[in-house]
Amino acid sequence: MVIAIIGILIALLLPAVQAAREAARRMQCSNNLKQLSLALHTYHDTHNGFPAAATNCKAANNWASAFVQLLPYIEMSARYERFVAGDSPISGLFTTTTHEGCVGPISAFNCPSDDQTVSYSNDKKAATTNYVICYGDTTRGTHVLGTSLRGLFGGQKIFRKMSSASDGTSNTIALSETLVAKSANDDRVGAGMAVLPKTTGGHVNKPGSVAAFRGPNRRLLNPDTQIGVCGRGNSFAMGAGVYIGFQTILPPNSPSGTDRGAPPNIHDCAGLMSAASNHTGGVNVGFCDGSVTFVSETVNSLNSGLVLADVDDPLSGPSPFGVWGALGTIDGGEPKSL
């Protein structure tokens, strides 16, 4: 009888303990995003602009991500100096050698609700990132040299100022979350990438086509096993959208997809990347004003009549993707708030 009572008590308490632990992890994740938001502001004060999605440094050519540029502002100047001084290229990260600045986990870039802190690819153990920058509500320009973006972070060598967020800094998203892929064929929604047919590459711009890849139990119906190195969050250092970016098109915890790019730079590709996390029901989001908010996966993301529709990317004007899309744009003329 005593054993039975103890068993019942454990069964009752265990979910509460797990919920409390996840609440603590979610709070730590929020604190990480807060520190990155403060680092963005310090960078802006120093350079009169936010970091570009990708830019030059000695070891990176055009590939150094915004997170590489933020290293000195999160007390990691020594690691940043390795990028400035080193010779092995970031662009060879998953094929030849790993730049020494990339090796080993960086706690500031990892959510405690996700346990993947270093990359699986070729056992190079490159530092991963659970935090991703906002490319706006368009899939145009998500490759390294892309520039046609509507979010706070411009493409290669585009350094936007605070004043660019004319929709309002408290209404403009800067950062959110992703899950880190654990293998080349990770089929978890939020970590893997859906295969987008090359013959109909325009589908990368159409949310319904990507959303349709979701299967039961939040799995991808068709994970991309062809790219191999193109896991979400697999490198904090490489300034390609599939690694370090997301768009406010599909709601949080939706599938992501890619057209695979072209060899040999198959990771330098167009994609529709969704914010995602292991937190129940949504993701943490950092805004341009430095605030951090938890956003539900049920946030309004498509206007009436556009649910799962194939809607071409906007080039200017208000976002067609509801409140979520409006929060991703810097100057769409729709200063919506949650």
User: Domain locations in the chain?
Assistant: 2-328
Task: Give the pLDDT of residue 116.
Answer: 84
Q: List the Cα angle 190/193/195 in 5-degree steps.
A: 145
Task: Give the pLDDT of residue 304.
Answer: 46
Task: Give the pLDDT of residue 140.
Answer: 76
Residue pair 54/237 in contact (Cβ under 8 Å)? The answer is no
| Distances, alpha carbon 100 to alpha carbons 61, 126, 181, 233, in Å | 16, 9, 21, 18
- The Cα–Cα gap between 100 and 120 comes to 16
Task: Give the pLDDT of residue 305.
Answer: 45
* β-bridge mates for residue 258, sequence order: 195, 271
* Per-position pLDDT tens, the chain of length 338: 666 666 565 555 555 545 557 678 889 999 999 999 999 999 999 999 999 998 877 655 667 899 999 999 999 999 898 888 766 666 555 555 567 788 888 999 999 999 888 876 656 678 899 999 999 998 877 776 667 678 999 777 788 999 999 999 999 999 999 999 888 788 999 998 888 766 454 556 678 878 888 888 889 988 876 554 557 888 898 888 888 999 999 999 999 988 776 655 666 677 889 999 999 999 999 999 999 999 999 999 865 444 445 566 677 889 988 899 999 999 998 888 88
Q: Is residue 68 classed as helix, strand or coil in its secondary structure?
A: helix
How is residue 316 written in tokens? 């200017």
Q: Is the pTM of this model over 0.85?
A: yes
- The Cα–Cα gap between 276 and 216 comes to 17
Terminal C-alpha separation, the chain: 51
Q: Which of 251, 253, 229 is nearest to 242 (CA)?
A: 229
Task: Give the pLDDT of residue 228.
Answer: 47
Q: Which of 58, 59, 53, 47 is nearest to 93 (CA)?
A: 59
Q: Which amino acid is at 78?
A: A
